[in-house]
Amino acid sequence: MSTIDLSKFEKKMIIRNIKPDDIDEILALQKLSFPGMDPWKKEQLESHLAIFPEGQICAEYDGEIIGSCSSLIVNFDEYDDQHTWDDITDEGYITNHNPEGYNLYGIEVMVHPKYRGMKIGRRLYEARKDLARELNLKSIIIGGRIPNYHKHSAEMSPREYVEQVIHHKIYDPVLSFQLMNGFTLMRINPGYLPDDLASNKYATLMEWNNVDYVRRSKRHFKTSFPVRICVVQYMMKQINSFEEFATQVEYYTDVAYDAKADFCVFPEIFTTQLMSFLNEKIPSKAVQRVAEYTEEYIELFTNLAVKYNVNIIGGSHFVEEDNGDIFNIAYLFRRDGTIEKQYKVHITPNERKWWGISPGDKVEVFDTDCGKIAIQICYDIEFPELARIATDKGANIIFTPFCTEDRQGYLRVRYCSQARAIENQIYTVIAGTVGNLPETENMDIQYAQSAIFAPSDFEFARDGIVGECNPNIEMVVIGDVDLEILRRQRQSGTVRQLKDRRHDVYNIKYKK
C-alpha cells in the first residue's frame, strides 16, 4: 500500500495579529466585504498597528487573509450615549486608545464573501474575547450594523426591527450573529455610520461581559497621574576637565532627586562646554573632539539615572558615527538603566555652516514609567508636523532641549513649544543654556528662559505655563503635570483639537 502524502491536502487556518505587510491585502478585502461603503485608508490601518497592534487580528487561510477585526481600548463611560463611529475611533485613527481603559471596543469585523459559513467571524470574536481576558478588561463593546433593516424600514422602527431579530422572527446577518456569540443589546444609536445605508445609518450597541474580570481599584478611582519635572537652565562657563563637567551634572541630578522628580531635563548640546578646555579653535574640529567623549557622556548619565532614580533627558550631544557623519542626538536615560535616543531631524543653517551636522530621519516616541514621551531638539519643535506625528504615536509630553544665542531665537522655540502644547493637547518642556564661553568659537553667547507648558483650558495652569525660570540665570524650575487631566481634557475639553481634526480634508503622512 502506497503512502499518501497528506501535506498536499492540508490547508492551514491561522488566527494572528495583523502585520504592516498585510495592509494592502486587508484594504482589498474590505472592498469585497463592504461594497458601497467607504474603505479604510492605509494611514488609518498604519495608525492601528502603531498604537494598539494587539487589537488588530486577522484570519489567514492557506496563505490568504480572509477575515480581520480591529479594536481599541476605551473607558466607555467617558463617551456620550449617542456617540458615532467617528467619535469612538477618532475618525478611524484610534489615537484616543486608552491602555488604562477597561472596555475593548470593536470597530470592525469583516469576512471574505467567498469564505462566509466557515465560522471565520466566530474565530475572530473568540480571539477578541481571549484578548479581553488576557488584558483583564471588563467587557467588549461593539457598534453593530443591522444591514437587513432597509428591507423593513417602511413598516417598522429600528427598535421594532431589533426586537423582531432578538425573538428570531427576522434574521439579520450581523445582529443575529452577535446575539449567538453572547452579546446583549445596550441601546440603538442613530447616525452611527453615515455611509451604512443598508442599516439606515443605525447601529446596535452590544456588550459582552468578561466573567473573569478582576476589578482593579486604580483603574476605577484614578483621579490623577502626576509627573514631576525638573528643568535645568544650565550655565555655560569655563571648565578644565570632563570631571568638572560631571560634577556639575551630578549636582543638578541630585537636585532633581531631592525634589522627587520623575524627569530631569538638560539643554541641547550643553556638552559643548567641554570645548572650553579642548583648545581647538576650528569649530568643525572642536565638534569632533567633543564627540570623542560620547562613551564617557553615556556612562555618566546612565549611572546618574540609576543612582538617583530619575529619568534623565540628557540634553543633546554631538556623536560621530561609523561613516564619519556627526549627528546631534538627544538621549533618554531611564532610571531602570535602559537608554533610547532621538536624532535631531532639522539642522539649522548655523549647524550646517560651522559644524557640518547631519540630519536624522525618524520621529521616536519612548515608553517610560510615566507614560509615552518624545524628544524634539530645538529647531525640530518649530515644525508642527513632528509634534503631531509624536502625538499620534501616543506621546503625552514633548521635551525640547534647546540652545539659542539671542532673544529672537529663544522666542521661536518658546512660542512654537506653546503652540504645540495647545494644538496637540500635550505638555511641552523647554530646557536651555545660559552664560557664555568667550574662548569658544560659535558658542560664545547664550539666551534662555526654560519652562514647562500645558494646553490652554480651565483645568490647566493659568496662561498655560506650569512653571518657568527667570531669563538668563542659572537655576531650575520644578513643576507637576497631570496625565489624567490631559486624558480627560482630550475627550471633553472646551476645545478638542485632536478629536476635531478634519481627516476628510487633510492628513499628515509619516514616511518611515
Q: What are phi and psi of 352, to 5 degrees?
A: -70, -45
List of residues 6+ apart from 279 with CB closer than 8 A: none
Give CA–CA dist 232/381, Å, rounded.
Answer: 18
Q: Which residue has the cell 506650569?
A: 466
Q: Which of 69, 370, 378, 416 is catalytic?
A: 378
Half-sphere exposure of 274 (CA within 13 A, CB side): 23
For residue 8, indicate whether it is catalytic.
Answer: no
Angle 58-139-394 (CA atoms, 0-180°, nearest 5)? 65
Q: Which residue has the cell 476605577?
A: 220
H or E element that contains 166:
helix 158-166
H or E element that contains 206:
strand 203-209
Q: Which of 268, 351, 382, 468 is catalytic?
A: 268
For residue 378, indicate whether it is catalytic.
Answer: yes
Identity of the residue numbered 146: I
For residue 264, indicate whether it is catalytic.
Answer: no
**Number of DSSP helices (H) and strands (E) in the chain, helices first:** 15, 21
Q: How far is CA 197 from CA 187, 190, 267, 478, in A?
A: 19, 12, 56, 55
Q: Which of 129, 201, 344, 393 is catalytic?
A: 344
Half-sphere exposure of 323 (CA within 13 A, CB side): 4
Rg (CA), the chain: 27
Q: Which residue numbers are catalytic?
A: 268, 344, 378
